[in-house]
Amino acid sequence: MRILVTGGTGYIGSHTVVELMEAGHDVIILDNLSNSNEAVVDRIGKITGSRPVFYNLDMRDGEALTKLFENERPEGIIHFAGLKAVGESVAKPLMYYDNNIGGTVNLLKTMEKFGCKNIIFSSSATVYGDPEHVPVTEDCPKGSCTNPYGWTKSMIEQILMDLCIADKEWNVVLLRYFNPIGAHRSGTIGENPNGIPNNLMPYITQVAVGKLDHLNVFGNGYDTHDGTGVRDYIHVVDLAKGHVKALVKLAPGSGLNIYNLGTGKGYSVLDIVKNFEEASGVNIPYEIKEPRAGDIATIYADPSKAEKELGWKAEFGIKEMCEDSWRWQKMNPNGY
Ligand code: NAD
Ligand code: UD1
C-alpha cells in the first residue's frame, strides 16, 4: 500500500516507517520537524536499505499538503503528527488546539478532496481518564481528560467518528496507545526528547547516562503494590507492528475500528527502576516526591480485541524494553 505517514520522523512514527517498509509498503513521510530531526530519515535508510521520501511541511499548510497529495497520491494515512507535551499544553492550550485539531482537520479536508478516506490515528489511553475499570477494554467509557493535550486526542477521535457516520466511505482506525518505551534493537533510532524529559523511561536513561542526577518518583502513596503509579509499558517496535497489522481495517467497508495497543501488564515506577537496573547494570538513584498533578494510580490495557481482530500481540517483555532503551541512549547520548 502507498502510505503517507504524518509525524514520520518522530519517535513512534520512525519505528512504524521501518516496519512498514520492511513489510513491503511504499512510504512517504510528512513532518515539520518541530519535535524531530531530518537525520532520522537517513537512519531509517540505514536500517531498511532505502531512504523514504520526505516532505518537510506543516500539516496546517493546505497548499503544501495539496501539492503533496497531487505528487504522491497516497492510498492511506497513518497520522502521528501532533504536539504531545502535557505540561506545555496546559500553558499553551491554543497552540495545542491549533496544531493538533486544526492540523488534523486540514489533513482530513485534503484527504476528502483527493478521495483518500483511509486513516489510522494515534490516540492515547489518556482518553479513558481515570478508567472505570482495569484492565481497560475499548468499550470502557471515555473519561474526563486532565489537560488540553488529552482533549485534543479525545476530540480528534470524535471528529473521526462523526466522519464515519456522515460518509460510509471513510475507514478509520483509532489506536489507543498505552506507554511506549524502548527503541529499535539496532540502537539506530529511538526517543529523542527536547530538554528535560517528562516521561519516565527517557528520564531514567538520562540519569543512567549521567545527564541527570537522580529520578524524582512522583508519589508513593497510591493504592498499588508498592505505592507508585502503575502503567502498561509497551515496546515501541511492538506498537509499530500494530500499525502494520491495523492496515487490514482500511479495506473498503471497514468503517470505524478502535483498538487498545498495550501488553495487558502493569508495572509500577519502582518495578521499572529495578528492571532497568538489572538490564543495564547501572544504579538509578531516586527520591520520592509529591504526586504529579493529573496523574492516576493505575491503568493497563485489555489488548485482547487487537489480538482477536488484527492478529496482533505485543511480543517484547520489560527486559527487552529496558535493554533497548538503554542501548539507544548509550549509543546516542546527545540524541540525533
Ligand atoms: P513525536 O513528537 O516524537 O512525533 C510527532 C511528530 O509530529 C514530530 O516529529 C513533530 O515534528 C511532528 N509534528 C508536530 N506537529 C506537526 C505539524 N503541524 N505538521 C507536521 N508535523 C508535525 O511524538 P511520538 O511519541 O512519536 O507520538 C506520535 C503520536 O502518538 C502523537 O500524536 C502522540 O500524541 C501520540 N501518542 C504518543 C504517546 C507516547 O507516549 N509517545 C502515547 C499516546 C499517543
Ligand atoms: C503521560 C501523559 C499522557 C501521555 C503519555 C505519553 C500525564 C498526566 N500523562 O502518561 O497524557 O499520553 O505521558 O506521552 O502527563 N513518573 C515519575 N517520575 C518521572 C516521570 C514519570 O515518577 O520523572 C511516573 C508517573 O507519575 C507515572 C509513571 O511514571 O506514574 C509514567 O509516567 P509517564 O511516562 O509520564 O507517562 P503517563 O503519566 O502514563
Digit-coded pLDDT (tens) for 216-236: 999 999 999 999 999 999 999
Q: Cα–Cα distance between 23 and 307 in angstroms, integer?
A: 19
Annotated active-site residue 149? The verdict is yes
Backbone φ, ψ for residue 110 (5° rounding):
-65, -40
Q: What is the pLDDT of residue 41?
A: 98
Q: Among 15, 43, 58, 80, which is best to mutate for testing ligand 1, by the most ligand atoms less than 8 A from CB?
A: 80
Write out pLDDT tens, residues 57-77. Answer: 999 999 999 999 999 999 999
Q: What is the pLDDT of residue 332?
A: 97
Q: Among 5, 15, 17, 35, which is best to mutate for testing ligand 1, by the most ligand atoms less than 8 A from CB?
A: 35
Residue 123: closest CA among 89, 161, 170, 163: 161
Return the SS3 of 30: strand
Annotated catalytic residue within 11, 96, 128, 149: 149
Write out pLDDT tens, residues 99-109. Answer: 999 999 999 99
Return the SS3 of 33: coil
Residue with cell 521499572: 272
Q: What is the pTM of this model?
A: 0.98
Q: What is the pLDDT of residue 176?
A: 98
Contact in structure between 68 and 32 (CB atoms under 8 Å):
no
Q: How confident is the model at residue 32 (pLDDT cuts 50, 70, 90)?
A: very high
> What is the average per-residue pLDDT within 191-207?
96
Write out pLDDT tens, residues 251-294. Answer: 999 999 999 999 999 999 999 999 999 999 999 999 999 999 99
> What is the average per-residue pLDDT within 15-33?
98
Ligand 1 binding pocket (C-beta < 6 A) is 7, 9-13, 31-36, 58-60, 80-84, 99, 103, 122, 124, 177, 179-180
Atom of ligand 1 nearest to the CA of 83: 14
Ligand located closest to 291 CA: 2
